[in-house]
Chains A and B, each alone.
Chain A
Amino acid sequence: MGDIYFNGSELTGIHDVNFNSVAMDNVYFNGVKIWTKHPYAIDTDIFTYSWNNGGNNCGIPSDTYPLAFASIGSCGSPDHTLTFTLNEGFYVSSYSNDEYGTDSDGVGASNTGGTFYVWVGSTVSGMYGGTGFSIPASGNGGSSFTVTYSGE
């Protein structure tokens, strides 16, 4: 599909499209969606990443999902903490640890952006960041988290 222009400006996902000074989420033409500001459907789980104690925190798919990441640090083996920051519209919706279970409420009140720390030790692992998870930042065994698109 070719590019779409409005008053000489290309409509992209980078710029908002306003109608009567209100930013549109979607633009339809003859009932067909011709533009959306959202790279993913709202509430889409983008990826889940799991890592094990004694392993490493490499392989977070920042190259596969570059829109999700504002930045990501280097990965490593025990004892190492990797730092990443999510762009607005993306959030950690779930965090699990083998010892302590799952926080499926993600970062609580915030569902957009935030900086997170992925920790791997020899016997424990975990993560923390955002506005806080409800399960501990470090526990026995492996851990996992899911990044979801909120569009907000």
Chain B
Amino acid sequence: MRVYLSATALFMLAGMPIHAHHAQAPFFDQSREVEIEGVVTRFDFRNPHPVLYVDVSNDSGGIEEWQIQFGNATGLRRRGWHKDIIGPGEKIRARGHPSWNPDTRGMQGARVVKSDGSVLGASTAD
């Protein structure tokens, strides 16, 4: 489990199929993407924005908590998401826009891949 935050790991992916919400720009850097691998500790499936909590090992051997923010729960529910769609202990890999505040580890617009290779929510999307 690692978080790729080095200069080489921060890259532009303008063609990525990630829908950026404009009002997110002051909170998440829409020009960059980071990738993390970690273990889910909690999925807060609530409005207005569900959050997936992920423990990620850092280079110094410690654990950092990342929070992945999604779109609204109502829209996701319509696409088949629910509060148990992912749960504690599941290993995931995620790539998305990092939060601006250097004291935080937030992510938005993320594509989350489970350990079996499936994309979170992909099988339930309409």
A binds B: no
